[in-house]
Amino acid sequence: MTANSPTGPQNAVTHDVKESAFLKACRREPVPHTPVWFMRQAGRSLPEYRKVREGTAMLESCMRPELVTEITLQPVRRHKVDAAIYFSDIVVPLKAIGIDLDIKPGVGPVVANPIRSRADLAQLRDLTPDDVSYVTEAIGMLTGELGSTPLIGFAGAPFTLASYLVEGGPSRNHEHTKALMYGDPQLWADLLDRLAEITAAFLKVQIEAGASAVQLFDSWVGALAPADYRRSVMPASAKVFDAVAGYGVPRIHFGVGTGELLGLMGEAGADVVGVDWRVPMDEAARRVGPGKALQGNLDPAVLFSTPGAVEEKAQEVLDAAAGLEGHVFNLGHGVLPTTDPDALTRLVEYVHTRTAR
């Protein structure tokens, strides 16, 4: 069955999972409490994560199903969050199709042969399920362990993947990326279209294995003006969301520094728009418009303050989100590595208690 068939493809999401607070909020249905999960909850700040990953490189750890399963489950056990997010990295599908890259500690993904010309596009072949069989295996293990807790699959959005590929690694100014986007718009469009196909294939593998929602991370897209986003990026993101629409799982779209892009990111096809900490949730709702749930948006740095201050700032988020059609509580970006795990556990409990219906 394909995504274009009248009844749509099926995945392994059970009735209990579909009735979870997280998926209900994504569908803008009444919830027993505001659901909570955290970006980058699966690792970095957890001592048990550091212990289990000791001596294993990041990309290798993403390809070992038993390790992926354990790391994904750790924050669910510890924090009692309402959803798990699959432990991986946005460059995994690029590595899987043979791109020569590595994740260097303290730096991030580094690409050996950056894409700067049409000939370089040949590096980007199609992704097949066999390329990432470890993902299918890990998600099968996870859905068995998680029970009624939903699993979120994810991928990097075409723009952010393109930025890594063109720059050769993380970039502050994205000068090579923007030079290509403005200077050779046809090559840029072809690059993003190819990445959209790879990204869609990667998300389909996760959904068909049992992921009950997916999030598209566009970490660097806040570097763009709205007109550039609409013209040069939105078509590729929309292609990804369209490709998985038939599965009926919620699609979340998140970027950093995207206050000026929130409406457009919703237009691209997301069911849930992620909001960073720079825009209050009620203002974000105004920018996005009706018909979408929102996710966010406590500043991750707040967690370094006193418990009372964390509660106060969390309540500000809840108050601003009180009138939303659907709200998933999250941070406005990922958990910072030196965050006290107990602060996250207390935050989950606070949100659950304060919003119990």
**What DSSP string runs through 97-120?**
TT--EEEETTTEEEESS---SGGG
Q: Which of 49, 86, 134, 164 is catalytic?
A: 164
- Nearest by Cα to 42 from 60, 62, 20, 13: 62
Question: Does residue 251 have an active-site annotation?
Answer: no
Six-digit token string for 131: 């390329």
Question: Does residue 172 have an active-site annotation?
Answer: no
Q: Which of 40, 78, 251, 287 is catalytic?
A: 40
Question: Does residue 49 have an active-site annotation?
Answer: no
Q: Which of 64, 82, 86, 89 is catalytic?
A: 89
What burial letters (b/e) apply to 259-298, b meaning 16+ CB within 10 Å?
A: eebbebbbbbbbbbbbbbbebbbeebbebbeeebbbbbbb
Residues 203 and 209: their CA atoms lie apart, in Å, by 10
- Residue 192, SS3 per DSSP: helix
Residues 292 and 252: their CA atoms lie apart, in Å, by 10
Q: Which of 53, 78, 194, 251 is catalytic?
A: 53
Six-digit token string for 149: 């807790």
Q: Is the peptide bond before 297 cis (omega within 30 degrees of 0)?
A: yes
Residues 194 and 234: their CA atoms lie apart, in Å, by 14
Residues 316 and 320: their CA atoms lie apart, in Å, by 6
Question: Does residue 247 have an active-site annotation?
Answer: no
Six-digit token string for 73: 């489950």
Q: Which of 16, 27, 28, 44 is catalytic?
A: 44
Residues 198 and 202: their CA atoms lie apart, in Å, by 6
Q: Which residues are catalytic?
A: 40, 44, 53, 89, 164
